[in-house]
A and B are shown apart, each in its own frame.
Chain A
Amino acid sequence: MENKKIIIIGGGPAGLAAAIEANNAGIAPDDILILERDRELGGILNQCIHAGFGLHMFGEELTGPEYAGRFIDIVKERNIGYLCDAMVLSVSAEREVSFVSPTEGFCRVKAGAIVLAMGCRERTRGALNIAGSRPAGIYSAGTAQRYVNIDGYLPGKRVVILGSGDIGLIMARRMTLEGAKVLRVCELMPYSGGLPRNIAQCLDDFDIPLYLSHTVTGIHGKERLEGVTVAKVGDDRRPIAGTEEYIECDTLLLSVGLLPENELTREAGITIDRITGGAQVDETMQTSIPGIFACGNVLHVHDLVDFVTKEAYRAGASAAKFVNEGGSTPTGSTLQTEGKNGVRYVMPQKINADGALTTETTLFFRVDNIYRDKFVTLSVDGTEIFRRKKRFLEPGQMENITLSEDAVKAIRSGKTVTVALA
């Protein structure tokens, strides 16, 4: 069986950054192998042709292909190993990776360390159980995005969008610019899951109405979608009888959430976090299996690729360290992190007291509702270490806390780290 020091599964923004940082940390380019199932590197960024990427990393607004291109250029310049059209079939706890590719056939490679960077996929109509027939014209927003931006096809002319996540908002603008009429965006929740600026520049700019607390309850049409039934929902998120409205349309786009793609992770026996849908990791991005790391949307869904890149740098550096130090793992005590009082989850889920913990360690979290004028607090074993005032907190925006020196000190002798709103 062939050996590689580091195998990276997924050649999107997470995988590219992990590969580059592993190389920076001294792993030779040909000891790294990125396995990408698409025909080219770049992942989902290739179809995200809108601007808004890279403000944190580069201080400028890039389009998705531009952002990916900067990392692809580095990977190619340094001759870091990668294989496209390569579908990974399994990852084992012993760090064996099997994959198939049209050029290489079936391969098994033993890795010194593995970085999981498979990204996420979209929730589908099946996951929502919308009643009605099964006509053509119903797409996940990301699929429609690929049709329009990569393949050059407009999926329809009269469009209803269910879900106000960023991809749905971006597609409302994109379809409008390409000549379709976007009739409305319906959102089940009383608030949007998308970035506020996308509501402004994708909906408000084109007078596309956003119906909060509304959902699609019926799909009509035989061969092609002819219309949808939309209804208002109550506080229990169930449709309210008598509020149904029929809307004639030929296309329904679903932008109803992203799910980290963790089939390989589960099969390897890695512990999954019930809330994020991704692996549980420590501050080095290591999963419950030593030598297997995770980063990017496969770990938890991000709203900004910049944070994916930063997380992936950490995973790449940690994977390189694991290999360079012969597979050593932290030996000290492990703290758990938790979210309380409106904090839905905290990532990483574990912190090693003697690990790579520094004042550069960042905790990421999301809130479960819209909050105004709240304090974000960080406590260790119930003692508050730090608080910061926030004017707006929204579920659509991932928040972070970078550890202060006091926090690092307290964490070193603690058991539980709590992020909460006060």
Chain B
Amino acid sequence: MSIIKKTCIVCPIGCHLEAEVSDSGEILSVSGNTCKRGETYIRDEVTNPRRTLTSTVKLTGAKYDKFLPVKTDGAISKGRLFEAMEILSGITVTAPIKRGDVIVENFLGEGVALVAGKTVE
């Protein structure tokens, strides 16, 4: 049995979470969380850690902006963040763009979309 300690990243409170994990990798108990999302977070951390990715892609046709902020509209596997960055470096979008516009659907096959973070006329 082992204890895994993590700082919760779900919200700015940053609860100090602890998960008791059996030798077979099964989560026996979770403590330190002040909400349900904290428990979900540390369960994911032990099994399949996921992160939302925010970055930029190239932008043409805008008055000032040369780059457009983008984000995945849900978390992707933490281990695939650099793979995702490679893909983003090959994307160019053209203004006008509205905040929330989908740039890539089912990004990396992770079931989340890559969306625009800013309205650019």
* A310 CB to nearest chain B CB (Å): 14
Q: Given the complex of chains A and B, what is the CA–CA distance between A105 and B6 in angstroms?
A: 55
Q: Are B56 and A177 neighbours in the complex by a CB distance under 8 Å?
A: no
Residues in A with CB closer than 8 Å to B78 are 205
Residues in B with CB closer than 8 Å to A150 are 65-67
Residues 1-27 of chain B, each 1 if its beta carbon lies under 8 Å from chain A, else 0: 000001111111010100000000000
Within 8 Å by CB of A197, from B14, B52, B66, lies B14
Interface residue stretch chosen among A10-18, A20-28, A60-68, A335-343: A60-68
Q: Are A201 and B69 neighbours in the complex by a CB distance under 8 Å?
A: no
Residues in B with CB closer than 8 Å to A69 are 99, 117-119
Residues in A with CB closer than 8 Å to B81 are 177
**Which residues of B (38-60) have their CB < 8 Å from a CB of A?**
51-56, 58
**Which residues of A (200-221) have their CB < 8 Å from a CB of B?**
200-201, 204-205
**Which residues of A (60-114) have their CB < 8 Å from a CB of B?**
61, 63-66, 69, 72-73
Q: Are B12 and A195 neighbours in the complex by a CB distance under 8 Å?
A: yes
Say yes or no for A178: interface residue by CB 8 A criterion: yes
User: Number of residues in A with C-beta < 8 Å to the partner?
Assistant: 35
Q: Given the complex of chains A and B, what is the CA–CA distance between A205 and B81 in angstroms?
A: 11
Say yes or no for B85: interface residue by CB 8 A criterion: yes
Q: Are A39 and B55 neighbours in the complex by a CB distance under 8 Å?
A: no
Q: Given the complex of chains A and B, what is the CA–CA distance between A380 and B78 in angstroms?
A: 50
Within 8 Å by CB of A199, from B7, B69, B99, lies B7
Q: Are A63 and B117 neighbours in the complex by a CB distance under 8 Å?
A: yes
Most buried by A among B14, B53, B56: B14
* B57 CB to nearest chain A CB (Å): 10
Q: Given the complex of chains A and B, what is the CA–CA distance between A199 and B12 in angstroms?
A: 11
**Which residues of B (42-94) have their CB < 8 Å from a CB of A?**
51-56, 58, 64-67, 69, 71, 78, 81-82, 85
Q: Are A49 and B64 neighbours in the complex by a CB distance under 8 Å?
A: no
Within 8 Å by CB of A49, from B9, B12, B56, lies B56
Given A152-B66, A177-B81, A195 and B54 contact (CB-CB distance below 8 Å): no
Residues in B with CB closer than 8 Å to A151 are 66-67
Q: Given the complex of chains A and B, what is the CA–CA distance between A49 and B66 in angstroms?
A: 14
Q: Given the complex of chains A and B, what is the CA–CA distance between A178 and B85 in angstroms?
A: 7
Name the CB-closest residue of A to B85: A177
**Which residues of A (269-314) have their CB < 8 Å from a CB of B?**
303-304
Residues in A with CB closer than 8 Å to B7 are 196-197, 199-200, 204
Interface residue stretch chosen among A50-58, A119-127, A238-246, A406-414: A50-58
Residues in B with CB closer than 8 Å to A201 are 9, 51
Most buried by A among B56, B58, B65, B69: B69
Q: Are A63 and B54 neighbours in the complex by a CB distance under 8 Å?
A: yes
Residues of A within 8 A of B (CB): 39-40, 46, 49-52, 55, 61, 63-66, 69, 72-73, 149-152, 177-179, 195-197, 199-201, 204-205, 303-304, 392, 397
Closest 6 CB pairs of A and B: A196-B14, A200-B7, A49-B69, A65-B118, A197-B9, A197-B14
